[in-house]
């Protein structure tokens, strides 16, 4: 395993694009320390901020320290495993296609934006636009899994196309806004206007019943056949839900009727 321990906290954003398991597996620790990273408006060597040790041959990274000022960790990764032993900055796991990222603290905004595959697990909370689309983009997350034990901010699953996002705590406003497909599960409270503009996909609220826009209508009360399968998979990953969820009766609403009405918002009864 390669260990990168922060020894000089950055005063302006530090972006670590390209410092990925698949890119450096054949390099020594000294060579990795000399790789360029973006510090504000200039490039510096990674070793100016991190003590690099260990071996990258097994394609496993361990970032250590308060990395809230370090951005783009794991961005565009395709394989390997990345551990963040602390808080992480913005853009963690953006556009990733494979591999696994585990953040033991909190993550900031744009977690997993426009990701295509792989998995991200945050044991703390995350910011805005989890699994979402960048401004001007048509699609957010198109595959993979994002699990957050704590809370998340606004516009979670913005324009999500495929994949699964599960939030153990609360979410902010406009959850799954413009959702195209995929699944969002919220264990805590929801903010304003969930599902606004959604075309397809599913939002499941396990505890709260946030007010829906008038462009949603009640469909039926039922027991989703997919719910036990999803929860069983998440429980295997160590993501905890109420024990009764697998056999719960749910209320189903269809919407957004302004955009075809094929989306689903599901509330546990």
Kindly indicate the confidence band of residue 113, based on its pLDDT and cuts at 50, 70 and 90: very high
**Tens digits of per-residue pLDDT, 122-175?**
999 999 999 999 999 999 999 999 999 999 999 999 999 999 999 999 999 999
What is the pLDDT, as a whole number, of residue 244? 60
pLDDT band at 243 (very low <50, low <70, confident <90, very high): low
| Whether pLDDT at 25 is above 70 | yes
Which whole number is the average pLDDT over 84-89? 97
Give 103's strand partners: 84, 122
Per-residue pLDDT band for 246 (boundaries 50, 70, 90) equals low
| pLDDT averaged over every residue in the chain | 95
Between the alpha carbon of residue 17 and those of residues 38, 46, 72, 74, 96, the distances in Å are 8, 11, 6, 8, 12
Percent of the chain exceeding pLDDT 70 equals 97
Residue 88, CA distances (Å) to 24, 63, 171 in order:
21, 9, 19
**pLDDT exceeds 70 at position 261:** yes
Whether 131 and 165 have beta carbons less than 8 Å apart is answered as yes
Residue-level pLDDT at 102: 98
Task: For the chain, give percent helix, strand, coil, nearest 5.
Answer: 10, 30, 60
CA-angle at 86, arms to 97 and 135, nearest 5°: 45
Give the per-residue pLDDT at 240.
77
Residues 70, 263: Cα–Cα separation, whole Å: 37
Least confident among 8-22, 90-104, 237-251: 237-251
Q: Cβ neighbours of residue 101 under 8 Å, at least 6 residues apart?
A: 73, 74, 77, 81, 82, 84, 92, 93, 118, 119, 120, 121
Helix boundaries (H) for 128-226:
none
What local confidence, expressed as pLDDT, does residue 247 receive? 64
Report the C-alpha gap between 217 and 257 in whole angstroms. 8
Q: Strand pairing partners for 63?
A: 4, 84
The percentage of the chain sitting over the pLDDT mark of 90, rounded to a whole number, equals: 88
Stated pTM of the model? 0.95
């Amino acid at each position: 395993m390669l260990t990168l321990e922060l020894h000089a906290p950055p005063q302006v954003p530090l972006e670590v694009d390209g410092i990925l398991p698949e890119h450096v597996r054949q390099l020594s620790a000294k060579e990795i320390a000399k790789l360029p990273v973006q510090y504000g408006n200039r490039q510096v060597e990674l070793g100016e901020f991190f003590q690099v040790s260990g071996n990258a041959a097994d394609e496993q990274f361990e970032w250590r320290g308060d990395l809230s000022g370090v951005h783009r960790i794991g961005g565009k990764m395709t394989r390997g495993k990345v551990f963040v032993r602390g808080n992480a900055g913005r853009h963690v796991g953006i556009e990733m296609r494979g591999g696994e990222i585990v953040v033991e603290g909190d993550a900031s905004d744009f977690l997993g934006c426009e990701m295509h595959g792989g998995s991200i697990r945050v044991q703390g909370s995350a910011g805005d636009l989890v699994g979402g689309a960048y401004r001007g983009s048509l699609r957010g997350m198109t595959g993979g899994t994002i699990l957050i034990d704590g809370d998340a901010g606004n516009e979670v699953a913005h324009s999500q196309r495929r994949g699964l996002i599960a939030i153990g705590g609360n979410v902010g406003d406009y959850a799954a806004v413009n959702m195209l497909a995929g699944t969002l599960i919220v264990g805590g409270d929801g903010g304003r206007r969930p599902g606004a503009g959604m075309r397809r996909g599913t939002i499941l609220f396990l505890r709260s019943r946030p007010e829906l826009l008038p462009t949603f209508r009640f469909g039926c009360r039922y027991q989703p056949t997919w719910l036990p399968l999803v929860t069983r998979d998440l429980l295997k990953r160590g993501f905890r839900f109420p024990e009764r969820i697998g056999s719960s009766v749910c209320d189903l609403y269809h919407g957004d009727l302004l955009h075809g009405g094929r989306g689903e918002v599901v509330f546990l009864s």
